[in-house]
A and B are shown apart, each in its own frame.
Chain A
Amino acid sequence: MGQLVLKDVKKSYGSHEVIKGVDLDIEKGDFCVFVGPSGCGKSTLLRMISGLEPITGGTISIDDAVVNDVPAADRGLAMVFQSYALYPHMSVRQNLSFGLENIQTPKAEIAAKVDEVSKMLQIDPLLERKPKDLSGGQRQRVAIGRAVVREPTIFLFDEPLSNLDAELRVDMRAEIAGLHKRLGNTMVYVTHDQVEAMTMADKIAVLRAGVVEQFGAPLDIYNKPENLFVAGFIGSPKMNFLEGAVGTVSAAEFEFVPTSGPPFMLDHASFDIEAGMKVTLGFRPNHLAVVEADKADMTVSVRGTEQLGGESFVYSNTPDGAALTLHLSGQTSIEPGTEIGLSLDRALCHLFSTQTGVSLRS
């Protein structure tokens, strides 16, 4: 129970197409996260799965049954909303039991389920309170409880943690992940926060402008981004990019010629390239090392530093002005205004076609 398949799902408002043909196959029991910048259509896609938003084209099937024309309530899904959407005039108990009352569940059974779920989510002392008397985290639990109590096949979460403060968000993240382990249901989770995506997901779907840019396991997406957008979006701080061209190519190595600064050699093995191609080199801030000027792949001028104690960030510019971020563990003595030499970890760089943005990984 709980397999969700989207085939060429589309949505347009008038002539404006917001979801441009999405294909996804979410396995039963998976925790799937839709991540993307705001306005990419991830919430719309979730609402289309829930049935609250009609779809313009394609099919949505749950457990091999097409549910395009099945109303929201009959799809066997439960949704947790960004604003929690608790019924403000009802007590927590009434909020939890409202859905069960609507399907004519016997009173004793409702009471038993509400008790069970509220104990599980530790909201049992709050049952007689109104939502306005709860803190943000407690409201969040009630909203989750309202979804859990109906025993749906699939849970849908629409940015559920975005209204919480940072500390609480970390706690709730762990709690939702724990809930997923315990219940084993399929969950679809929408967020714009890639940390949430990386930490919670079994599968991540990275969306941009109504298109799935990449769908896969978190570390696969991190290690092998399929295009510039995914490479830049996943990972914090952002991946560094250098534009340039491919110089001479040999069997083992090739020469990368940045638009400014001296060329340097990279491994050829994992890339599918030919001489003269316009390419963008991508490397993560923590795959850079500070070295002597004569061993460096590039020299940059330091714009500023951020010392967090356990780790440090160095913000710098290449000679032609492109921003490069450097992530160092521990503390650093690098001063703003100085010039430093950097060498990059050849095994861990990414190469993209500048023209199409597609990864050149072979």
Chain B
Amino acid sequence: MARVLSFLTRTRGNGAGKLHWTDWLSYGYLLCGVLLMFVPVIWLGLSSFKTEADLQRFPPRLLPMAQETMVLPGYDEPLPLYTITDGEYAGEVLAQVRRIGIIAQMVRPDAPTERLKVNIKLREPVEKFRLATENYTELFEKFNFALYLWNSVFITATATAIMLLVNSMAAFALSKYQFRGSNVVLGMVIGVLMVPQTVVLVPLFLISKELYLIDSLWGVIIPGAATPTGVFLLRQYMLTIPDEILDAARMDKASEWKIFWRIILPLSAPAIAVLAILAIMWRWNDFLWPLIVLSDSDKFTLQLALNTFQGDLNTQWSNLLAMTMLVLLPIALVFVFLQKYIATGIASTGGK
């Protein structure tokens, strides 16, 4: 912890604790970056705990606040509380029973039977900090959040696993075997890198349809199983593994499959971790292709489910924001975990 702190507070190194102008500049720049990255996330996090009414409020406030209510005898619903600012009852806290035009019918909490008439301009709601956790709980009660989560997790995990396997096998062949046409294959892989995904969207859809992959989770997983980026990235990394190690394994009577599995894959771990992060982020956040392939709402991913909150006439912002928060969370955790793994991966390949 102390090391982290000393790392974060490092200066240009005159040692006297005085800040050089470049320190001001670099910390200013870093602060700017942190704000740029973090403020939207923080705003999202705070807003996801606001009630629908609070979200609609203008001007918006930073913290989620809710009006205080009180249950009074003789009334079924909890009544909202107001502080009266002026007029006959100035300074008192009253509960509103109902509102007619600009006049509100209110009662004193200690005398709930006596109705008082107050102009709505002369009062202010009593508010306190409150987290609207119902935004989250409703997701599980009203929507089939667990199902969407499962669909997303299944697609992300399976697709990433298949993609890593397919890509690393292709990269192994392209980096370590000399065969006729290997350069042509590599050229084609690199060529595909230059084709935007949207260009192949229609042919991809037609092929998927012919293969009966439409409206199935596998239809999302399989078309993206081999990515040129992944093949290229892993190939470049595998080129750095010395051929002598493979020769040694061959002399040790290891089959080619075993060489791949026991030698190449462990030694490519840092590159594979990088690719895994990219793949997980891409799969988890993918919207367009699942939107095209999946039509049955039972098969929706979280991203598609998020989209359904946004109706033509009415958007349930509170739930939408809560769900966005939940969608963000796993990917952030994955990143934190795998980033650590990358660091150790790079460190462990220091040996000759």
Q: Taking beta carbons and an 8 Å cutoff, which residues of A are in contact with B?
A: 47, 50, 52, 72-74, 77-79, 81-89, 98-99, 102-103, 130-132, 146, 150
Q: Does any Cβ of A come within 8 Å of B121's Cβ?
A: no
Subset of 14 A-B contacts with CB under 8 Å: A47-B247, A72-B251, A73-B250, A73-B253, A73-B254, A78-B251, A79-B248, A79-B251, A84-B352, A87-B263, A99-B254, A102-B255, A146-B248, A150-B252
Give the Cβ gap from A13 to chain B, nearest Cβ, in Å: 11
Question: Which 4 residue pairs are nearest across A and B when measured between Cβ atoms?
Answer: A132-B351, A99-B252, A73-B253, A85-B244
Determine whether the beta carbon of B254 is less than 8 Å from that of A52: no
Q: Which of B250, B253, B266 is A89 in contact with, Cβ under 8 Å?
A: B266
Chain B 221-252 interface mask (CB, 8 Å, partner A; 1/0): 00000000000000000000010110111111
Within residues 247 to 271 of chain B, which ones have a CB less than 8 A from any CB in chain A?
Answer: 247-255, 258, 262-263, 266-267, 269
Within residues 306 to 329 of chain B, which ones have a CB less than 8 A from any CB in chain A?
Answer: none
Q: Which of A81, A99, A102, A146 is B244 in contact with, Cβ under 8 Å?
A: A81
Determine whether the beta carbon of A83 is less than 8 Å from that of B244: yes
- From known contacts A81-B244, A82-B244, A102-B258, infer whether A73 and B351 are also in contact, taking CB-CB under 8 Å: no
A87 to B350, CA, bound (A): 13
Q: Does any Cβ of A come within 8 Å of B349's Cβ?
A: yes
Determine whether the beta carbon of B242 is less than 8 Å from that of A98: no
- From known contacts A87-B263, A103-B253, infer whether A81 and B248 are also in contact, taking CB-CB under 8 Å: yes
Determine whether the beta carbon of A87 is less than 8 Å from that of B245: yes
B258 (CB) vs chain A CBs: closest residue: A102
A78 to B269, CA, bound (A): 28
A47 (CB) vs chain B CBs: closest residue: B247
Tell me the interface secondary structure of chain B in the complex.
helix
Determine whether the beta carbon of A83 is less than 8 Å from that of B267: no
- From known contacts A81-B248, A83-B242, infer whether A98 and B254 are also in contact, taking CB-CB under 8 Å: yes
Q: Does any Cβ of A come within 8 Å of B67's Cβ?
A: no
Chain B 57-81 interface mask (CB, 8 Å, partner A; 1/0): 0000000000000000000000000
A72 (CB) vs chain B CBs: closest residue: B250
Q: Which of A73, A89, A146 is B348 in contact with, Cβ under 8 Å?
A: A89
Across-interface contacts of B253 in A (CB, < 8 A)? 73-74, 99, 102-103
Central interface residue in B251, B254, B258, by most chain A CB within 10 Å: B251
A99 to B252, CA, bound (A): 4
Determine whether the beta carbon of B252 is less than 8 Å from that of A85: no
Across-interface contacts of A130 in B (CB, < 8 A)? 351
Chain B 110-146 interface mask (CB, 8 Å, partner A; 1/0): 0000000000000000000000000000000000000
Determine whether the beta carbon of B267 is less than 8 Å from that of A89: yes
Determine whether the beta carbon of B351 is less than 8 Å from that of A87: no
A116 to B255, CA, bound (A): 26
Across-interface contacts of B242 in A (CB, < 8 A)? 83, 85
Determine whether the beta carbon of B245 is less than 8 Å from that of A79: no
- Apart from A52-B247, A77-B251, A89-B266, 15 more pairs, CB < 8 Å: A74-B253, A83-B242, A83-B352, A84-B352, A85-B244, A87-B263, A88-B245, A88-B267, A98-B254, A99-B253, A131-B351, A132-B348, A132-B351, A132-B352, A150-B252
A78 to B254, CA, bound (A): 13
Central interface residue in B262, B350, B352, by most chain A CB within 10 Å: B352
Within residues 324 to 352 of chain B, which ones have a CB less than 8 A from any CB in chain A?
Answer: 348-352
A131 (CB) vs chain B CBs: closest residue: B351
Give the Cβ gap from A134 to chain B, nearest Cβ, in Å: 9
Give the Cβ gap from B248 to chain A, nearest Cβ, in Å: 4
Determine whether the beta carbon of B247 is less than 8 Å from that of A88: no
Across-interface contacts of B248 in A (CB, < 8 A)? 79, 81, 85-87, 146
Determine whether the beta carbon of A88 is less than 8 Å from that of B249: no
A19 to B211, CA, bound (A): 54
Determine whether the beta carbon of B244 is less than 8 Å from that of A73: no
Give the Cβ gap from B257 to chain A, nearest Cβ, in Å: 11
Across-interface contacts of B348 in A (CB, < 8 A)? 88-89, 132
A144 to B248, CA, bound (A): 12
Determine whether the beta carbon of B351 is less than 8 Å from that of A88: yes
A98 to B252, CA, bound (A): 7
A246 to B319, CA, bound (A): 107
Central interface residue in A73, A81, A88, by most chain B CB within 10 Å: A88
Determine whether the beta carbon of B251 is less than 8 Å from that of A87: no
Give the Cβ gap from B247 to chain A, nearest Cβ, in Å: 5
Across-interface contacts of A77 in B (CB, < 8 A)? 251
Q: Which of B245, B251, B349 is A52 in contact with, Cβ under 8 Å?
A: B251
Across-interface contacts of A131 in B (CB, < 8 A)? 351-352
Across-interface contacts of A87 in B (CB, < 8 A)? 245, 248-249, 263
A214 to B255, CA, bound (A): 38
Across-interface contacts of A52 in B (CB, < 8 A)? 247, 250-251
Give the Cβ gap from B328 to chain A, nearest Cβ, in Å: 34
Across-interface contacts of A84 in B (CB, < 8 A)? 352
Across-interface contacts of A79 in B (CB, < 8 A)? 247-248, 251
B265 (CB) vs chain A CBs: closest residue: A89
A98 to B263, CA, bound (A): 11
Across-interface contacts of B349 in A (CB, < 8 A)? 88
B247 (CB) vs chain A CBs: closest residue: A52
A171 to B244, CA, bound (A): 25
Give the Cβ gap from A281 to chain B, nearest Cβ, in Å: 44
Q: Which of B247, B252, B351 is A102 in contact with, Cβ under 8 Å?
A: B252
A27 to B125, CA, bound (A): 104
Across-interface contacts of B258 in A (CB, < 8 A)? 102
A99 to B247, CA, bound (A): 12
- From known contacts A81-B244, A85-B245, A88-B267, infer whether A50 and B351 are also in contact, taking CB-CB under 8 Å: no
Q: Which of A73, A83, A89, A132 is B252 in contact with, Cβ under 8 Å?
A: A73
Q: Which of B252, B254, B351 is A146 in contact with, Cβ under 8 Å?
A: B252
A100 to B40, CA, bound (A): 58
Across-interface contacts of A102 in B (CB, < 8 A)? 252-255, 258
Give the Cβ gap from B347 to chain A, nearest Cβ, in Å: 10
Give the Cβ gap from A206 to chain B, nearest Cβ, in Å: 25
Give the Cβ gap from B231 to chain A, nearest Cβ, in Å: 22
A88 to B248, CA, bound (A): 12
